[in-house]
Chains A and B, each alone.
Chain A
Amino acid sequence: MSILIKGVSKNFGSFKALDNVSLEVPDGDLLALLGPSGSGKTTLLRIIAGLEVADTGTVLYQDEDVTHHSARDRKVGFVFQHYALFRHMTVAENIGYGLKVRKTPKAQIRDRVDELLKLIRLDGFGNRYPSQLSGGQRQRVALARALAAQPRVLLLDEPFGALDAKVRQELRQWLRRLHEDIHVTSIFVTHDQEEAFEVANTVVVMNEGKIEQTGSPDEVYHYPATPFVYRFLGNVNLFHGRIDDGRAHIHEKETGHVVYVRPHLLDIDRIPNGGDHFRARVRHINSAGALVKVEAITEWGALVNVEISQDRFRTLQLIKDETVFVIPKDVKIFNDSNKKLAS
């Protein structure tokens, strides 16, 4: 079931949660709504689910306009951030609830519940209550409950937000495999870019109620459309600069353009190799980790973060307070009106 969102806006009092958002989700896609808190991603998900009503705009499932349909009639599976399992029902009753209210015969409900319990690897847990399960188990029950009635669309609100790192990692991979098996159009909300990249086929980056960029994880990471996307997807160094003859001149006093460089796209050397470079003084070195993190101060007093490999670090024998040359390998330049110019 494909989803089409056209010009959706939503205000909470004076706060603009969504500002004229349009989005197309192809059938069978696994899409991540990625953004900082307050970017409107959860509001958009709830509008798609029918738990919230848009002020303006339309929501279409395939060709059917569902803008004014209640959540009950949209046949979506919704997974809440804090699971929202019915605490007085057993796991089996929770999973079967959607079938029960849709008047499915009892035997059929039992079969479907058994099948889903196997799918979420909790067979034998049917008679337990949610309070007797761990966080990860509850989240899987919530997922099974959402899937029980064969929803047209699966929507997940920060599905792994309340879990610890190890469980989250396992569940991400599990969700990805599950989607490969059942292929229902799925949208999940997350503020964790790593999670979005790892699980989703399509990533939608949102900020302040607007969509900044839509694309595959690869596209979004390597070809960010706006400075916000570039900044949001990882650590970044920011320089002001000016463009002359196709070359960027960076200095504190320059204006007109902003140059972004990721720390791992900078290199350090003792001799200028003839290409682009600037001078900086090493202030701090942190060599614990896969990459060595170097903090340096440029001649004009700006802080620059550089990440070099352990091998490179050993070859250079860097020490604190020495002056080195910083060599950018790849930069992104945006002008002041936030338009991308060059890479």
Chain B
Amino acid sequence: MSTEALVKPHIGTITIRRHAQEDPAWVRWGLTLFALAVVGLLVVVPVVNIFATALSDGLRTYWDNLFTDPDTRQSIFLTLTVVPIALVANIIFGLTAAWAIARFNFPGRTLLTALIDLPFSVSPVVAGLMFVLIFGLQGYLGPFLRRDGYSIMPYLVSILGVGAFIVFFLLSRPSNPLARNGLWKQGWLFVLLGSGLVFGLLLFVQLYFHVWPRNQSLKIIFATPGLVLATAFVTFPFVARELIPVMEAVGADEELAAVSLGANGWQMFWHVTVPNIKWGLVYGIILCNARAVGEFGAVYVVSGHIAGKTDTMPLRIEKLFQEYNLPGSFAVASLLTLLAIFTLIAKARLQRKIPTTANLPEPTQSESQS
């Protein structure tokens, strides 16, 4: 770099190249234009076209296409049912998996990390077929589910109840062994007796009051449960994937500090862990949500495509398109596109707030003391 360039970067209209290693102008312009052209052709034009076609018959038709057609209305409603359930399941799973992987060293940790990514690498259609193979009529559990599917529900609910009881026991027990008196002293006996009691009571209530229908088939494939399973499977990695690096970057020291200051597990989680990971969690949820709403392949296989019953929004778009109802199809598509645009904006805004190893506030080393 010449001294002159330092002082006067511009002489007249001639721009002096400021870096010796800077690429020639035609390379810079060529690459930029090429990238812009590709994005314009493949992204901007189609997106604009979606809205143009959706609104081609006027706002009135657009509205009718979305909300007066009962099948379309049902598909929106179904998506709004399936996605939140899948999201909640994935948030719970993502938090536990990220916690386990970032905080503990256990055998099979690498395997778990790899398995979390599995849904990314499996084709959604294959994922859908997997569930058909397990729960479908010809599947492993098919005959049983068809004959008397609900008979398993009382047991499932009772086992969940026992799980909740054990978690509650561990959370409410005094952590100091000396402070445990009376029943707390016989911890394992208490858990054993309590679990038996909870299990028996729940089972009795459900069987006695006939909570679940008898001798009826429990539909999973070609019904909402199948849609939830398929959606949850496909979007399974998002929350965990976002949280693991955040939790690793934040480290366990603040959590340990909270514990040494007297916080219990619950307080540590809500006072320290959640504030530290919340933006990463929100980011993961938004990505997970975008993917869940738009999921087509896996849902296509398990839904059976029953109009007004098991059609989610993407399936409905395809069906309308097959019926040559372009404004209708594009109207639904425009909703998904709006969600995508919202997701993009949220993503750009959130990314800056997530702690990574690079942007953690480091102590200023060279400052003098007050």
Chain A residues with a Cβ under 8 A of chain B: 49-51, 68-78, 80, 82-88, 97-98, 101-102, 121-122, 130-131, 134-138, 145-146, 148-149, 162-164, 166-167, 170
Contacts and interface: CB of A to CB of B under 8 A. Distances in A.
Contact of B367 (A122, A135, A149): A135
Interface in B75-116: none
A149 B262 CA distance: 9
B177 interface: yes
A146 B177 CA distance: 23
A136 B368 CA distance: 8
A73 B369 contact: no
B358 to A, nearest CB: 15
Given A70-B176, A164-B366, A88 B275 contact: yes
A70 B255 CA distance: 14
30 contacts: A70-B259, A71-B256, A71-B259, A72-B175, A72-B260, A72-B263, A73-B175, A74-B260, A80-B257, A83-B363, A84-B253, A84-B256, A85-B257, A86-B272, A97-B258, A98-B262, A101-B258, A102-B262, A122-B370, A130-B361, A131-B361, A134-B367, A135-B365, A135-B367, A136-B367, A137-B369, A138-B363, A145-B257, A146-B261, A162-B363
A122 B178 CA distance: 38
B272 A78 contact: no
Contacts of A84: 251, 253-254, 256-257
Given A87-B276, A87-B361, A135-B364, A78 B257 contact: yes
A49 B257 contact: no
A162 B365 CA distance: 8
Contacts of A75: 262
Nearest to B255: A84
Contacts of A70: 175-176, 259
A231 B190 CA distance: 57
B216 interface: no
Residue in B251, B254, B262, B272 with the greatest tally of chain A CB atoms within 10 Å: B262
Interface string B142-174: 000000000000000000000000000000000
Contacts of B254: 84-87
Contacts of A146: 260-261
Contacts of B357: none
Contact of B264 (A72, A77, A97, A170): A72
Contacts of A170: 369
Contacts, number: 107
Task: Bin chain B's interface residue count.
Answer: 20 to 34
A72 B262 contact: yes
A260 B365 CA distance: 38
Interface of B: 175-179, 251, 253-254, 256-264, 267, 271-272, 275-276, 361, 363-370
A121 B361 CA distance: 23
A49 B256 CA distance: 10
A197 B301 CA distance: 73
Nearest to A46: B256
Contacts of A88: 275-276
A75 B262 CA distance: 7
Nearest to A81: B253
Contact of A134 (B176, B179, B258, B369): B369
Contacts of B365: 135, 162-164
B363 A135 contact: yes
Given A51-B259, A84-B253, 11 more contacts: A49-B260, A51-B260, A69-B177, A73-B179, A77-B260, A78-B257, A88-B275, A101-B271, A135-B365, A138-B363, A167-B369
A288 to B, nearest CB: 24
Contacts of A102: 262
A339 B133 CA distance: 74
B360 to A, nearest CB: 8
A130 B262 CA distance: 21
A163 to B, nearest CB: 7
Nearest to B355: A87
